[in-house]
Amino acid sequence: MIYLLDVNALLALGVADHEFHARVAGWVHRHSASTFATCAITELGFVRLASRIPAYGFTVAQAKLVLSGLKDAPSRRFTFLVDDQDASRLPSWAKGAKQITDGHLAALAAAHGAELATLDERIPGACLVERLS
C-alpha cells in the first residue's frame, strides 16, 4: 500500500516535538511494509510550518534538511507523487474553502493508487492515523 501523508501527518512524523509525533511514528512503524508518499503540496507545507512555528525553531534551510532526512531514512520507503490534478478533479464533498486542499490531496492519492493518510477524522475515504492504544 502507498500512503500519501498529509501535511500534518508529515510534520508530526518529522518533528519530534510535535504533539502527535509518537502517534504518527508508531503508525508508520506498524505499516513498515508500506510506501509513504509526499507531493509538492505536502513538502511545501512541511517546510512552511516547520520554519514558521517558533516552538520547532527551524529555519527554512533546516526544515528542508529535516524533510530530506525523513525521506531518506533507511527504515522506511518514500516516493514522490507528481501532481497533475487540476481543480476539476476535486471530489464532490469538497464544498467549502477549508476542504479544498484535503480534497485535492485525496484525489491526487487516488489517481496514484494510494490512500491519503491523515490525523483529520473529517476527510471522507482517507486513512486515519490511529491513536495509540
Domain residue limits, the chain: 2-128
Give the amino acid at 99.
Q
- The class (CATH top level) of 2-128 is alpha beta
User: Rounded to whole angstroms, how far apart are CA atoms 123 and 32?
Assistant: 23
For 73-103, write each residue's pLDDT tens digit: 998 999 999 999 999 998 999 999 889 999 9
Among the listed residues 75, 94, 98, 96, the one whose alpha carbon sits nearest the alpha carbon of residue 85: 94
User: Rounded to whole angstroms, how far apart are CA atoms 86 and 121?
Assistant: 24
The model carries a pTM of: 0.94
Q: Catalogue the E-assigned strands of 69-131.
A: 77-80, 115-118, 127-128
For 8-51, write each residue's pLDDT tens digit: 999 999 999 999 999 999 999 999 999 999 999 999 999 999 99
Phi–psi pair at 74, nearest 5 degrees: -70, -15
User: Rounded to whole angstroms, how far apart are CA atoms 115 and 133?
Assistant: 23
User: Rounded to whole angstroms, how far apart are CA atoms 89 and 40?
Assistant: 17
